[in-house]
Amino acid sequence: MKYFKLPDLGEGLPEAEIVEWMINEGDAVTTDQILATVETAKAIIEIPSPQDGVIAHLFGQAGDTIHTGEPLLEFAGEEDDSGTVVGELKKTSEATTEDHFFIGAAPSTQAHSQKMTPAVRSLANRLNVDTDNLQGSGGNGQLTPEDIERRARTDRTHGKAEPLRGVRKQMARNMARAHAEVVPVTLNEDVDIHDWEANEDVTIRLIHAISAGCKAEPALNTWFDGQQLARRVLSQINLGVAVDTEQGLFVPVVRDIGNRSLSDIRDGLNQLRQDVINRTIPPSELQGGTITLSNFGTIAGRYASPIVVPPTVAILGAGVIREQVVPVAGEIAIRRILPLSLSFDHRATTGGEAARFMRAVIDDLARESIS
Protein backbone atom coordinates (compact mmCIF):
# COMPACT_ATOMS: atom_id res chain seq x y z
CA MET A 1 0.00 0.00 0.00
CA LYS A 2 1.07 3.61 -0.49
CA TYR A 3 -1.07 5.26 2.18
CA PHE A 4 -1.72 3.70 5.55
CA LYS A 5 -5.01 4.91 7.00
CA LEU A 6 -5.88 4.97 10.68
CA PRO A 7 -7.43 1.53 11.19
CA ASP A 8 -10.72 0.83 12.93
CA LEU A 9 -9.82 0.81 16.63
CA GLY A 10 -13.09 -0.68 17.78
CA GLU A 11 -16.82 -0.01 17.89
CA GLY A 12 -17.68 3.54 18.87
CA LEU A 13 -14.12 4.84 18.38
CA PRO A 14 -14.28 7.07 15.29
CA GLU A 15 -11.10 9.01 15.98
CA ALA A 16 -7.80 9.05 17.85
CA GLU A 17 -5.32 11.69 18.94
CA ILE A 18 -1.67 11.22 18.05
CA VAL A 19 0.31 10.94 21.29
CA GLU A 20 3.76 10.19 19.90
CA TRP A 21 5.36 9.14 16.62
CA MET A 22 7.80 6.29 17.15
CA ILE A 23 9.36 6.77 13.71
CA ASN A 24 10.41 9.67 11.46
CA GLU A 25 10.13 10.43 7.78
CA GLY A 26 12.84 8.53 5.92
CA ASP A 27 12.98 5.66 8.44
CA ALA A 28 12.86 2.07 7.23
CA VAL A 29 10.30 0.04 9.17
CA THR A 30 9.36 -3.61 9.37
CA THR A 31 6.00 -5.33 9.65
CA ASP A 32 4.47 -5.02 13.14
CA GLN A 33 6.99 -2.36 14.21
CA ILE A 34 5.21 0.24 16.34
CA LEU A 35 4.66 3.38 14.30
CA ALA A 36 2.83 5.57 16.78
CA THR A 37 0.86 5.63 20.01
CA VAL A 38 -2.59 7.19 19.83
CA GLU A 39 -5.16 8.06 22.47
CA THR A 40 -8.81 7.25 21.95
CA ALA A 41 -11.74 7.95 24.23
CA LYS A 42 -11.13 4.49 25.68
CA ALA A 43 -7.39 3.82 25.95
CA ILE A 44 -3.88 4.48 24.66
CA ILE A 45 -3.19 2.18 21.72
CA GLU A 46 -0.03 1.31 19.80
CA ILE A 47 -0.33 1.27 16.00
CA PRO A 48 1.87 -1.36 14.28
CA SER A 49 3.15 -1.15 10.72
CA PRO A 50 1.16 -3.24 8.23
CA GLN A 51 4.23 -3.90 6.06
CA ASP A 52 7.94 -3.38 5.48
CA GLY A 53 8.84 -0.09 3.87
CA VAL A 54 10.30 3.40 4.08
CA ILE A 55 8.28 6.25 5.59
CA ALA A 56 7.84 9.04 3.06
CA HIS A 57 5.45 11.31 4.94
CA LEU A 58 3.65 11.56 8.29
CA PHE A 59 0.16 13.04 8.27
CA GLY A 60 -0.24 14.96 11.49
CA GLN A 61 1.79 15.81 14.56
CA ALA A 62 1.48 14.95 18.24
CA GLY A 63 -1.78 16.43 19.46
CA ASP A 64 -3.56 16.18 16.11
CA THR A 65 -6.82 14.23 15.89
CA ILE A 66 -7.13 11.65 13.12
CA HIS A 67 -10.41 10.02 12.16
CA THR A 68 -10.75 6.37 11.23
CA GLY A 69 -10.02 6.03 7.52
CA GLU A 70 -7.93 9.19 7.32
CA PRO A 71 -4.31 8.88 6.15
CA LEU A 72 -1.82 8.32 8.94
CA LEU A 73 1.36 8.00 6.88
CA GLU A 74 2.71 7.42 3.36
CA PHE A 75 5.15 4.70 2.31
CA ALA A 76 7.80 5.58 -0.28
CA GLY A 77 8.06 3.85 -3.64
CA GLU A 78 4.61 2.24 -3.59
CA GLU A 79 1.93 2.27 -6.25
CA ASP A 80 -1.04 4.52 -5.55
CA ASP A 81 -3.63 2.30 -3.92
CA SER A 82 -6.66 4.42 -4.70
CA GLY A 83 -9.02 1.69 -3.56
CA THR A 84 -7.92 2.10 0.04
CA VAL A 85 -7.48 5.85 0.15
CA VAL A 86 -10.10 8.13 1.66
CA GLY A 87 -10.82 11.00 -0.70
CA GLU A 88 -8.52 12.00 -3.53
CA LEU A 89 -4.90 12.99 -3.37
CA LYS A 90 -4.46 16.67 -4.09
CA LYS A 91 -2.20 16.71 -7.15
CA THR A 92 -0.36 19.77 -8.38
CA SER A 93 3.11 20.33 -9.76
CA GLU A 94 3.68 23.05 -7.18
CA ALA A 95 2.42 20.97 -4.24
CA THR A 96 4.54 21.22 -1.10
CA THR A 97 4.62 18.99 1.93
CA GLU A 98 2.07 21.29 3.58
CA ASP A 99 -0.25 20.89 0.58
CA HIS A 100 0.08 17.14 0.53
CA PHE A 101 -3.16 15.89 2.06
CA PHE A 102 -6.38 14.15 1.18
CA ILE A 103 -9.29 16.43 0.51
CA GLY A 104 -11.87 15.90 3.24
CA ALA A 105 -9.56 13.64 5.21
CA ALA A 106 -6.91 15.88 6.77
CA PRO A 107 -6.21 15.64 10.51
CA SER A 108 -9.01 17.45 12.28
CA THR A 109 -6.78 20.01 13.96
CA GLN A 110 -5.13 20.81 10.64
CA ALA A 111 -8.27 21.11 8.50
CA HIS A 112 -9.27 24.75 7.98
CA SER A 113 -12.88 24.84 6.87
CA GLN A 114 -13.51 28.36 8.17
CA LYS A 115 -14.14 31.04 5.59
CA MET A 116 -11.70 33.91 5.87
CA THR A 117 -9.75 36.22 3.64
CA PRO A 118 -5.96 35.99 3.41
CA ALA A 119 -5.75 39.21 5.41
CA VAL A 120 -7.84 37.78 8.24
CA ARG A 121 -5.79 34.57 8.22
CA SER A 122 -2.62 36.66 8.40
CA LEU A 123 -4.06 38.60 11.35
CA ALA A 124 -4.90 35.34 13.13
CA ASN A 125 -1.35 34.09 12.61
CA ARG A 126 0.15 37.36 13.85
CA LEU A 127 -2.03 37.36 16.99
CA ASN A 128 -1.51 33.61 17.52
CA VAL A 129 -5.24 32.92 17.40
CA ASP A 130 -6.39 29.36 16.74
CA THR A 131 -9.27 29.58 14.26
CA ASP A 132 -10.31 25.94 14.61
CA ASN A 133 -13.91 25.88 15.86
CA LEU A 134 -14.05 29.69 15.94
CA GLN A 135 -17.47 30.87 14.75
CA GLY A 136 -17.47 33.74 12.28
CA SER A 137 -19.84 36.70 12.62
CA GLY A 138 -19.58 37.80 9.00
CA GLY A 139 -21.78 36.88 6.09
CA ASN A 140 -22.21 33.12 5.64
CA GLY A 141 -20.20 32.55 8.80
CA GLN A 142 -17.06 34.25 7.51
CA LEU A 143 -14.44 35.18 10.09
CA THR A 144 -13.86 38.91 10.46
CA PRO A 145 -10.97 40.92 11.94
CA GLU A 146 -13.23 41.68 14.91
CA ASP A 147 -13.70 37.94 15.55
CA ILE A 148 -9.92 37.45 15.59
CA GLU A 149 -9.24 40.45 17.81
CA ARG A 150 -12.00 39.46 20.23
CA ARG A 151 -10.52 35.97 20.63
CA ALA A 152 -7.02 37.44 21.03
CA ARG A 153 -8.23 39.70 23.87
CA THR A 154 -9.88 36.74 25.59
CA ASP A 155 -6.70 34.69 25.26
CA ARG A 156 -4.61 37.49 26.75
CA THR A 157 -7.01 37.99 29.67
CA HIS A 158 -7.86 34.41 30.56
CA GLY A 159 -5.24 32.31 28.78
CA LYS A 160 -5.83 30.03 25.82
CA ALA A 161 -8.65 27.54 26.06
CA GLU A 162 -7.48 23.96 26.34
CA PRO A 163 -9.30 21.76 23.82
CA LEU A 164 -10.89 18.64 25.22
CA ARG A 165 -9.09 15.51 24.16
CA GLY A 166 -9.37 11.77 24.51
CA VAL A 167 -11.62 10.66 27.35
CA ARG A 168 -12.90 14.13 28.26
CA LYS A 169 -13.89 14.89 24.67
CA GLN A 170 -15.82 11.64 24.38
CA MET A 171 -17.46 12.27 27.75
CA ALA A 172 -18.61 15.69 26.56
CA ARG A 173 -20.10 14.16 23.44
CA ASN A 174 -21.86 11.42 25.39
CA MET A 175 -23.33 13.95 27.83
CA ALA A 176 -24.53 16.17 24.98
CA ARG A 177 -26.12 13.18 23.29
CA ALA A 178 -27.81 12.14 26.54
CA HIS A 179 -29.12 15.67 27.09
CA ALA A 180 -30.53 15.79 23.56
CA GLU A 181 -32.14 12.34 23.57
CA VAL A 182 -33.05 11.17 27.06
CA VAL A 183 -36.16 12.20 29.00
CA PRO A 184 -34.68 11.89 32.51
CA VAL A 185 -36.47 11.44 35.83
CA THR A 186 -34.67 10.92 39.14
CA LEU A 187 -35.94 9.15 42.25
CA ASN A 188 -34.19 9.82 45.59
CA GLU A 189 -34.45 7.55 48.60
CA ASP A 190 -32.54 6.54 51.75
CA VAL A 191 -31.73 3.08 53.05
CA ASP A 192 -30.84 2.20 56.62
CA ILE A 193 -27.63 0.13 56.58
CA HIS A 194 -26.88 0.36 60.29
CA ASP A 195 -27.15 -3.41 60.73
CA TRP A 196 -24.54 -4.27 58.12
CA GLU A 197 -21.72 -6.51 59.25
CA ALA A 198 -18.45 -4.79 60.05
CA ASN A 199 -16.18 -3.90 57.13
CA GLU A 200 -18.82 -4.53 54.46
CA ASP A 201 -17.67 -3.89 50.88
CA VAL A 202 -20.00 -1.04 49.93
CA THR A 203 -19.44 -1.36 46.18
CA ILE A 204 -20.13 -5.10 46.21
CA ARG A 205 -23.28 -4.53 48.26
CA LEU A 206 -24.44 -1.97 45.70
CA ILE A 207 -23.66 -4.33 42.80
CA HIS A 208 -25.56 -7.15 44.51
CA ALA A 209 -28.52 -4.83 45.12
CA ILE A 210 -28.59 -3.69 41.47
CA SER A 211 -28.66 -7.32 40.41
CA ALA A 212 -31.61 -7.89 42.76
CA GLY A 213 -33.33 -4.81 41.36
CA CYS A 214 -32.93 -5.95 37.76
CA LYS A 215 -34.27 -9.39 38.58
CA ALA A 216 -37.28 -7.89 40.31
CA GLU A 217 -37.90 -5.34 37.54
CA PRO A 218 -36.14 -6.29 34.25
CA ALA A 219 -37.39 -3.13 32.52
CA LEU A 220 -34.45 -1.23 34.02
CA ASN A 221 -31.92 -3.61 32.41
CA THR A 222 -32.77 -2.46 28.92
CA TRP A 223 -31.35 -0.96 25.75
CA PHE A 224 -33.61 1.62 24.11
CA ASP A 225 -33.47 2.76 20.49
CA GLY A 226 -34.86 6.27 20.42
CA GLN A 227 -34.91 6.43 16.62
CA GLN A 228 -36.96 3.27 16.20
CA LEU A 229 -38.81 3.67 19.52
CA ALA A 230 -37.93 0.09 20.34
CA ARG A 231 -36.53 -1.45 23.51
CA ARG A 232 -34.61 -4.64 24.17
CA VAL A 233 -35.09 -6.06 27.67
CA LEU A 234 -31.90 -7.98 28.43
CA SER A 235 -31.47 -11.14 30.46
CA GLN A 236 -27.75 -10.69 31.26
CA ILE A 237 -26.85 -7.82 33.59
CA ASN A 238 -23.65 -6.08 32.46
CA LEU A 239 -22.96 -3.31 34.94
CA GLY A 240 -21.05 -0.19 33.96
CA VAL A 241 -19.17 1.16 36.98
CA ALA A 242 -18.15 4.81 36.77
CA VAL A 243 -14.45 5.33 37.59
CA ASP A 244 -13.09 8.83 38.13
CA THR A 245 -9.54 9.49 36.85
CA GLU A 246 -7.38 12.53 36.15
CA GLN A 247 -7.93 11.93 32.43
CA GLY A 248 -11.72 11.89 32.79
CA LEU A 249 -14.57 9.49 33.40
CA PHE A 250 -14.27 5.83 32.45
CA VAL A 251 -17.10 3.31 32.71
CA PRO A 252 -15.68 -0.24 32.55
CA VAL A 253 -18.24 -3.03 32.38
CA VAL A 254 -18.52 -5.86 34.92
CA ARG A 255 -20.15 -8.71 33.00
CA ASP A 256 -23.02 -10.95 34.08
CA ILE A 257 -23.22 -9.77 37.69
CA GLY A 258 -26.36 -11.83 38.27
CA ASN A 259 -24.58 -15.16 37.83
CA ARG A 260 -21.15 -14.62 39.40
CA SER A 261 -19.87 -15.06 42.93
CA LEU A 262 -19.20 -11.93 44.95
CA SER A 263 -15.49 -12.74 45.20
CA ASP A 264 -15.28 -13.19 41.42
CA ILE A 265 -17.03 -9.86 40.88
CA ARG A 266 -14.59 -8.13 43.30
CA ASP A 267 -11.57 -9.65 41.53
CA GLY A 268 -12.92 -8.57 38.14
CA LEU A 269 -13.69 -5.07 39.39
CA ASN A 270 -10.17 -4.70 40.84
CA GLN A 271 -8.63 -5.74 37.52
CA LEU A 272 -10.81 -3.34 35.54
CA ARG A 273 -9.93 -0.44 37.83
CA GLN A 274 -6.22 -1.19 37.52
CA ASP A 275 -6.48 -1.41 33.75
CA VAL A 276 -8.28 1.94 33.69
CA ILE A 277 -5.58 3.58 35.82
CA ASN A 278 -2.84 2.12 33.62
CA ARG A 279 -4.76 3.05 30.45
CA THR A 280 -4.38 -0.53 29.25
CA ILE A 281 -8.05 -1.46 29.32
CA PRO A 282 -9.25 -2.95 26.01
CA PRO A 283 -12.00 -0.91 24.31
CA SER A 284 -14.25 -3.98 24.43
CA GLU A 285 -14.27 -3.78 28.25
CA LEU A 286 -15.86 -0.31 28.05
CA GLN A 287 -18.73 -1.41 25.83
CA GLY A 288 -21.91 -3.40 26.26
CA GLY A 289 -23.12 -2.05 29.61
CA THR A 290 -26.82 -2.52 30.30
CA ILE A 291 -27.18 -0.42 33.48
CA THR A 292 -24.76 1.84 35.38
CA LEU A 293 -23.57 2.48 38.95
CA SER A 294 -22.03 5.76 40.10
CA ASN A 295 -20.70 5.52 43.66
CA PHE A 296 -19.92 9.23 43.92
CA GLY A 297 -20.36 9.08 47.70
CA THR A 298 -16.78 7.85 48.02
CA ILE A 299 -15.85 11.50 47.36
CA ALA A 300 -18.74 13.80 48.35
CA GLY A 301 -22.42 14.42 47.78
CA ARG A 302 -25.70 13.13 49.18
CA TYR A 303 -28.07 13.08 46.19
CA ALA A 304 -27.54 13.68 42.48
CA SER A 305 -29.22 13.45 39.08
CA PRO A 306 -26.96 10.89 37.38
CA ILE A 307 -26.93 11.05 33.58
CA VAL A 308 -28.43 8.17 31.62
CA VAL A 309 -26.32 7.49 28.53
CA PRO A 310 -28.09 5.76 25.61
CA PRO A 311 -28.78 3.01 24.83
CA THR A 312 -29.09 2.19 28.57
CA VAL A 313 -32.14 3.47 30.44
CA ALA A 314 -31.03 3.63 34.07
CA ILE A 315 -28.19 4.61 36.40
CA LEU A 316 -28.07 4.28 40.19
CA GLY A 317 -26.07 6.82 42.18
CA ALA A 318 -24.92 6.24 45.77
CA GLY A 319 -24.08 9.19 48.00
CA VAL A 320 -22.03 9.61 51.17
CA ILE A 321 -22.97 7.26 53.99
CA ARG A 322 -23.83 9.38 57.04
CA GLU A 323 -25.17 9.06 60.56
CA GLN A 324 -28.68 10.45 60.94
CA VAL A 325 -31.27 10.72 63.67
CA VAL A 326 -34.24 8.55 62.67
CA PRO A 327 -37.24 6.93 64.38
CA VAL A 328 -36.82 3.19 65.02
CA ALA A 329 -39.71 1.23 66.57
CA GLY A 330 -41.11 4.42 68.06
CA GLU A 331 -37.78 5.50 69.54
CA ILE A 332 -35.21 8.07 68.41
CA ALA A 333 -31.97 6.46 67.20
CA ILE A 334 -28.80 7.38 65.35
CA ARG A 335 -28.41 5.12 62.32
CA ARG A 336 -26.10 4.83 59.32
CA ILE A 337 -27.95 5.95 56.20
CA LEU A 338 -27.03 5.44 52.55
CA PRO A 339 -28.68 7.93 50.13
CA LEU A 340 -29.62 6.67 46.67
CA SER A 341 -30.47 8.46 43.43
CA LEU A 342 -31.97 6.53 40.52
CA SER A 343 -32.19 8.27 37.14
CA PHE A 344 -34.16 6.59 34.37
CA ASP A 345 -35.23 7.37 30.81
CA HIS A 346 -38.96 7.95 30.96
CA ARG A 347 -39.29 7.19 27.25
CA ALA A 348 -38.58 3.53 27.94
CA THR A 349 -39.34 3.09 31.64
CA THR A 350 -42.44 3.90 33.66
CA GLY A 351 -42.38 5.46 37.10
CA GLY A 352 -43.84 2.27 38.54
CA GLU A 353 -41.08 0.15 37.03
CA ALA A 354 -38.42 2.49 38.40
CA ALA A 355 -40.04 2.52 41.85
CA ARG A 356 -40.24 -1.30 41.95
CA PHE A 357 -36.57 -1.49 40.99
CA MET A 358 -35.68 0.99 43.76
CA ARG A 359 -37.76 -0.97 46.27
CA ALA A 360 -35.88 -4.18 45.48
CA VAL A 361 -32.52 -2.38 45.73
CA ILE A 362 -33.44 -0.93 49.13
CA ASP A 363 -34.67 -4.26 50.44
CA ASP A 364 -31.42 -5.95 49.42
CA LEU A 365 -29.25 -3.21 50.92
CA ALA A 366 -31.22 -3.31 54.18
CA ARG A 367 -30.23 -6.94 54.75
CA GLU A 368 -27.61 -7.50 57.44
CA SER A 369 -25.57 -9.75 55.16
CA ILE A 370 -25.55 -11.18 51.65
CA SER A 371 -22.90 -13.84 52.24
Q: Are 203 and 269 in contact (CB under 8 A)?
A: yes
Weakest mean pLDDT among 131-140, 174-183, 184-193, 339-348? 131-140
Domain harbouring 46, CATH code: 2.40.50.100
Residues 139 and 220 in one domain: no
Is there a domain that residue 98 lies in?
A: no
Concatenating the DSSP letter of every residue in 248-310 gives: EEE--EE--GGGS-HHHHHHHHHHHHHHHHHT---GGGGS--SEEEE-GGGTS-S---PPP-T
Per-residue confidence (pLDDT) for residue 337, from 0 to 100 = 96
Which of 158, 178, 213 is the C-terminal boundary of a domain? 158
User: 114: pLDDT confidence band, cut at 50, 70 and 90?
Assistant: low
pLDDT, greater one: 123 or 41? 123
How many angstroms separate the CA atoms of 200 and 366, rounded?
12
SS3 content of the chain, % helix, strand, coil (to 5): 30, 25, 45
User: 121: pLDDT confidence band, cut at 50, 70 and 90?
Assistant: confident
Residues 244 and 333 in one domain: yes
How many angstroms separate the CA atoms of 321 and 336, rounded?
7
Cα angle 264-268-274, degrees, rounded to a multiple of 5: 150
Residues 76 and 225 in one domain: no
Per-residue confidence (pLDDT) for residue 102, from 0 to 100 = 33
Per-residue confidence (pLDDT) for residue 215, from 0 to 100 = 96
Residues 150 and 65 in one domain: no
Is there a domain that residue 102 lies in?
A: no
Q: What is the mean pLDDT of residues 298-303?
A: 94
User: 109: pLDDT confidence band, cut at 50, 70 and 90?
Assistant: very low
Q: How confident is the prediction for the chain on average, in pLDDT?
A: 85
The contacts of residue 12 (CB under 8 Å, 6+ apart) are: 41, 283, 287
Per-residue confidence (pLDDT) for residue 204, from 0 to 100 = 95
Q: Are 29 and 52 in contact (CB under 8 A)?
A: yes
Domain harbouring 124, CATH code: 4.10.320
Residues 257 and 342 in one domain: yes
Is there a domain that residue 97 lies in?
A: no
Residues 234 and 355 in one domain: yes
Instruction: Tell me the per-residue pLDDT of 200-244, one tens digit each, with 9 for 90 and over.
Output: 999 999 999 999 999 999 999 999 999 899 999 999 999 999 988
Is there a domain that residue 93 lies in?
A: no
Weakest mean pLDDT among 42-51, 78-87, 182-191? 78-87
Instruction: Tell me the per-residue pLDDT of 54-81, one tens digit each, with 9 for 90 and over.
Output: 999 898 888 888 888 888 898 988 665 4
What is the side-by-side strand order in the sheet with 65-67? 44-48, 34-39, 15-21, 65-67
Weakest mean pLDDT among 28-32, 170-174, 326-330? 170-174
Residues 274 and 355 in one domain: yes
Residues 57 and 186 in one domain: no
Number of independent structural domains in the chain? 3
Per-residue confidence (pLDDT) for residue 96, from 0 to 100 = 33
Residues 229 and 340 in one domain: yes
Is there a domain that residue 307 lies in?
A: yes
Domain harbouring 353, CATH code: 3.30.559.10
Residues 218 and 252 in one domain: yes
Checking if the pLDDT of 108 tops 80, the result is: no
Is there a domain that residue 240 lies in?
A: yes
Instruction: Tell me the per-residue pLDDT of 245-288, one tens digit each, with 9 for 90 and over.
Output: 887 788 899 999 999 999 999 999 999 999 888 888 887 888 89
Phi-psi label, residue 216: left if phi above 0, alpha if psi -120 to 50, beta otherwise: alpha
Is there a domain that residue 90 lies in?
A: no
How many angstroms separate the CA atoms of 342 and 314, rounded?
7
Q: What is the mean pLDDT of residues 26-48?
A: 87
Report cis status (omega within 30 of 0) of the bond before 311: yes
Instruction: Tell me the per-residue pLDDT of 313-323, one tens digit each, with 9 for 90 and over.
Output: 999 999 999 99
Highest mean pLDDT pick, 53-62, 108-117, 161-170: 53-62
DSSP strand pairing (34-39 vs 53-58): unpaired
Is there a domain that residue 67 lies in?
A: yes
Phi and psi (nearest 5°) for 335?
Answer: -130, 155
Give the number of C-alpha atoms closer than 13 A to the C-alpha of residue 192, restricted to the C-beta side: 10
Neighbours of 79 (CB within 10 A): 7
Which of 97, 131, 158 is the C-terminal boundary of a domain? 158
State which residues form the domain around 143: 118-158
Residues 298 and 332 in one domain: yes
Per-residue confidence (pLDDT) for residue 313, from 0 to 100 = 96
Which of 101, 127, 158 is the C-terminal boundary of a domain? 158
Residues 74 and 154 in one domain: no
